[in-house]
Structure 1
Amino acid sequence: MDIRPTDALLVIDPQNDFCEGGALAVQGGAEIMPLIVRLAQRFDRVVATQDWHTPDQISFASNHPGAQAFTQIEVAYGPQMLWPDHCLQGSTGADFHPDVMPAVNRALAVIRKGYNPAVDSYSGFFENDHHTPTGLAGLLRALGVTRVFLAGLALDYCVRFTAEDAVREGFEAVVISDASRAIAPETAAAAHDSFRALGVTQIEAATLLA
């Protein structure tokens, strides 16, 4: 697959807390970082996203007495999964993984999300209320981007919702499957089903690196 001048690579949440040893570790998270660096070298336009939570974030199980992480509650904007505390603003866990820094250093912008304590944010385009934009769509349009490639963590949440919103915002979306990792097989399967339904393409990194 050829990379066009109107393409951008979106590097989704490549942060310490989502890698081994982190507060919300995704199995194999750290091992994809060198691959993301190689991919970023092929793109003129790279944008990274970064979870950036306050301690009172609504999605933290610790803020709901008696609640357990990885259970779902209802909030004002609908269902919300509860998570362990992670990616606290200014913490080591919120920092980008050291092995991905060459890619982050190529980024034209870092889109921070999830900083509103009353609304979680998976997508790089919108908070979980599906109405509050992050500014990513406007940035990409200003850069002349028409197609986005996505890699990072986690495939079944932040990569998935960013890809879905990319399509809804009028961009072509391509998920680089082996440069992403999922939290759980069940939610990964749901993400793949969603990609097929919405026309999100899935490829292997070798397609771009050959």
Structure 2
Amino acid sequence: MDRLAATDALLIIDVQNDFCPGGALAIADGDAVVPIINRLAKRFDHVLLTQDWHPAGHISFASTHDGRAAYETMDAPYGPQALWPDHCLQGSAGAAFHPALDVTRAELILRKGFRVDIDSYSAFLENDHSTVTGLAGYLQERGLRRLFLCGLAYDFCVRFSAMDGKAAGFETIVIEDACRAVDLPGSVDETNAALASAGIVKIKSAELLAL
């Protein structure tokens, strides 16, 4: 692992209350990433965060669709869409960052999923794979070229952020032990295969902390 440079950034994905134990869409052991991420953030000159930020009646909520249940998949106008429990409602306590997450050095907080009729797993593109969030332009203008990704969830928002970042021309590296997965049937295996196929490297946090 090369030493960290001024053109590197830590991209912290959706470390929010609703994705942690006790939350509306709790990920097992989700809060365990917080102390790791806090240690990592001290090593970077640039720290960026994403925040899921859904309006009521969002297309990704099972409750929006009569007769549908959470964790089913439906056909949305832009393709397959997993349905979830209502989560990360704008302005709610569940949408807030985990209280132990140190966000004091964050240069950017990018909110995503705020359009009612389209979901956004990726920090770069919404789920139609064409509507941009503006993150690529921000990174390019700042001269940031290598991204280290961590957070929640490994098999959805981290995965798609890493893939889209790589496709946009950035070197993307996933810090494996600083992520946790939703772990739907097959989702982790699919993520591992997708990252490997794209040539996206996975590392352990110790490799960075040792630099």
2:169 alignment partner in structure 1: 170
Match for 1:187: what amino acid? S
Match of 2:122 in 1: 123
Task: Tell me the secondary structure at the aligned position of residue 99 of structure 1.
Answer: coil
How far apart, in 1, do the equivalents of 2:146 and 2:32 lie?
26
Q: CA deviation at 1:180?
A: 0.2
Shift of 1:18: 0.2
State the match for 1:87 in structure 2: 88
Q: State the 1:5 CA deviation.
A: 1.4
The percent of aligned pairs where both chains have the same amino acid is: 53
Secondary structure, in 3 states, of the residue corresponding to 1:105? Answer: coil
| Correspondence list, 1:148-187, <5 A | 148-184=147-183, 186-187=186-187
Amino acid at match of 1:68: A
Deviations 1:82-105 (A, max 9, x none): 0000000000000000111x2x22
Could you say what secondary structure the match of 1:130 adopts? coil
Aligned to 1:19: 20
Query: Any idea what SS the aligned residue of 1:196 has?
Result: helix
Which residue of structure 1 lines up, in the alignment, with residue 203 of structure 2?
203
1:134 is paired with a residue whose SS is coil
Offset, 1:126: 0.8
3-state SS in 2 of match to 1:141: helix
Q: CA deviation at 1:142?
A: 1.2
Matched, 1:72 2:73: yes
Residue type at the aligned position of 2:73: Q
Structure 1 residue 188, shift from structure 2 partner:
1.1
Shift of 1:24: 0.4
C-alpha distance in 2 between matches for 1:194 and 1:125? 17
Deviation >6 Å, runs of 4+: none
User: Partners of 2:112 and 2:135 in 1: how far apart?
Assistant: 10
Matches of 1:77 and 1:27, distance apart in 2: 29
CA distance in 1: counterparts of 2:62 and 2:139, whole angstroms: 34
Counterpart of 1:28, as a letter, is D
Residue deviations 1:98-152, cap 9 Å, x none? 111x2x2211110000000000000000110111111111111111111100000
Distance, in Å, in 2 between the alignment partners of 1:22 and 1:165 is 27
Q: When the two structures are aligned, how many residues end up with a matched partner?
A: 208
Q: Which residue of 2 aligns with 1:39?
A: 40
Q: 2-side partners of 1:31 and 1:138: how far apart?
A: 32
Name structure 2 gaps, 5 residues minimum: none
* Residue 188 of structure 1: aligned partner: 188
Secondary structure of 2:84's aligned partner: coil
What RMSD, in angstroms, separates the aligned Cα atoms of the two structures? 0.8
- Structure-1 separation of matches of 2:110 and 2:129: 16
Length-normalised TM-score, structure 1: 0.98
TM-score computed with the length of structure 2 as normaliser: 0.97
Find the residue that maps to 1:152 and give its secondary structure.
strand
Distance in 2 (CA, whole Å) between partners of 1:105 and 1:137 is: 23
Alignment of 1:102-141 (within 5 A): 102=102, 104-141=103-140
